[in-house]
Amino acid sequence: MSKKILANDGIDATGKQLLEKAGFTVITDKVAQESLAKELNEKEFVALTVRSATKVRKDVIDACPNLKVIGRGGVGMDNIDVDYAKGKGINVINTPAASSNSVAELVFAHIFNSVRFLYDSNRQMPGNGNTKFEELKKAYAKGTELRGKTLGVIGFGRIGQYTAKIALGCGMKVLAFDPFVKEAKLDLEIHGLENASVIIKTGDMDVLLRNSDFISMHVPGGKVIGDAEIEKMKNGVVLVNAARGGVIDETALVNGLNSGKIAHAGLDVFENEPKPSEALLKHPKISLTPHIGAATNEAQERIGVELAEKIIAALK
């Protein structure tokens, strides 16, 4: 059996070393999507790892009889025809735990950006800080503290739970909704305090929408928030989406921002990646990042190691 692995969207050096130590040859040269099936087949790759950029659809799977493992560095696998691949006897693996903390911290980066207007201040200060200092000071004078406010977490899997931990550390209340999770025990990693934990029970979606000051999305896809859901929210709510593009309807979001119903939004994901809507990119109330939730050095190392260990186990 071939021992060649194509890491088409890259892999952390630690994970690569683990695979090489196990006797595999790891190629990290990027292959264009249209050439992927041909390259995998001709060079007899036994495993393929991807992140979100490379798509592994039926045509690729059908063309590559040597392929034994498809690995996704991350959580969601909507860029892979998972059931079809499994039906062909291919192992499909992902790394659901590795990026949880990184995504949760990015959610709060967007929240802090919003409540203290940093996303706009960092645009305005370089050009106008010398000439309009007092005007800018006045413009950003109505910040909001997080302590005592309520964070609604829609989707209470690993990332939602990590997000809730940070909220609790900031002195916030947490409401959670997840049809598949009744409750979760959160172990709080607080320096100097051992064995601290709290149990969060999930509740009703409408209760969350009506009572949350901030709402963060942690669902795998679908249209979850639209005009009807926004109408139920508090005036001045802040919405953050670092899950999947489109789980907050983008037209409804812009309408809510323009009406003042939504005070701010933080977006890491978009419906039309890699070409997000201009209405979002230029909106004065949105904090923006280009789908970097898992893009920390620590998360990438954890992802690489977890991928490597699972691939080695699958190909034994």
Here the tokens at position 37 are 């099936």
Neighbour-count burial of 112, counting CB atoms closer than 10 A to its CB (0-12 exposed, 13-18 middle, 19+ buried): middle
Residues sharing a CB contact under 8 Å with residue 4, sequence separation 6 or more, in sequence order: 24, 25, 27, 43, 44, 45, 46, 47
The bridge status of strand 193-201 relative to strand 214-217 is unpaired
Catalytic site residue from 110, 218, 291, 302: 291
- Is residue 273 part of the annotated active site? The answer reads yes
- Is residue 105 part of the annotated active site? The answer reads no
Compute the distance between CA of residue 242 and CA of residue 235 in angstroms, rounded to an integer: 22
Reference 6, options 47, 55, 65; nearest CA is: 47
- Is residue 291 part of the annotated active site? The answer reads yes
Catalytic site residue from 72, 110, 218, 244: 244
Query: Does residue 149 contact residue 213 with C-beta atoms inside 8 Å?
Result: yes
Compute the distance between CA of residue 224 and CA of residue 217 in angstroms, rounded to an integer: 9
Catalytic site residue from 42, 183, 273, 298: 273
Query: What is the four-CA torsion angle of 144, 150, 151, 157, rounded to 10 degrees?
Result: 160
The answer to whether the bond into 96 is cis (omega within 30° of 0) is: no
Catalytic residues, by residue number, are 244, 273, 291
